[in-house]
Amino acid sequence: MSYTLEKLNSIDDLRVTFDSNLTFRDHMAQKINKAYSILGIIKRNFIYMDESSFILLYKSMVRPHLEYANSVWCPYKQGDIKELEKIQKRATKLVQKLPYKDRLMHLKLPTMEYGRLHGDIIEVFKTTHNIHDAEVSPNLR
């Protein structure tokens, strides 16, 4: 009995698109398009939005698409990092007309890159100190 393997250029696993070169270009493009789409929905449906409402909507509807499983597909090229940061730049313009860095400080939001780095540092700390929730990851103890 002989089997033939089918060659795939990309595959989806747990909502992450893996390509044959592990560049995650398609995955990032999908996530960026989804984030802009949701941002457009927010912009059209919430004309008068205060800062606390914006933060709630942005953190619950847009950022999860950009942060899900980012330890797997984390961008390392400057162009990819800038494309992801551009989403937050556009989003924060909805409630503030200051320069980007000032908008982030005023809204108490970190840059997307800082958020990814912070999450990685937390995971390294948990791993090196063997601090994991046994209910969430029972095989790590």
- Quote the number of domains for the chain: 1
Output 14 or 139, whichever has higher pLDDT: 14
Residue 51, in any domain of the structure: yes
Q: Is the Cβ–Cβ distance between 7 and 19 less than 8 Å?
A: no
State the residue range of the domain holding 60. 16-131
CB neighbourhood size of 103 (10 A): 19
Query: What are the backbone dihedrals phi and psi of residue 17, each rounded to the nearest 5 degrees, phi first?
Result: -90, 115
22: region left, alpha or beta (phi > 0 left; psi from -120 to 50 alpha): left
Q: Which residues pair with 13 in a beta bridge?
A: 16
- What is the spatial distance between Cα 84 and Cα 8, in angstroms, rounded to a whole number? 27
Percent of the chain with pLDDT over 70: 96
Q: Which residues pair with 10 in a beta bridge?
A: 19
State the average pLDDT over residues 32-59.
94
Tell me the whole-structure pTM to 2 decimals.
0.84
State the average pLDDT over residues 61-75.
92
Q: pLDDT digits over 5-29, tens only? A: 888 899 999 999 999 999 999 999 9
Residue 1, in any domain of the structure: no
pLDDT at residue 67 is higher than 90: yes
pLDDT at residue 71 is higher than 80: yes
pLDDT at residue 125 is higher than 80: yes
Residue 120, in any domain of the structure: yes
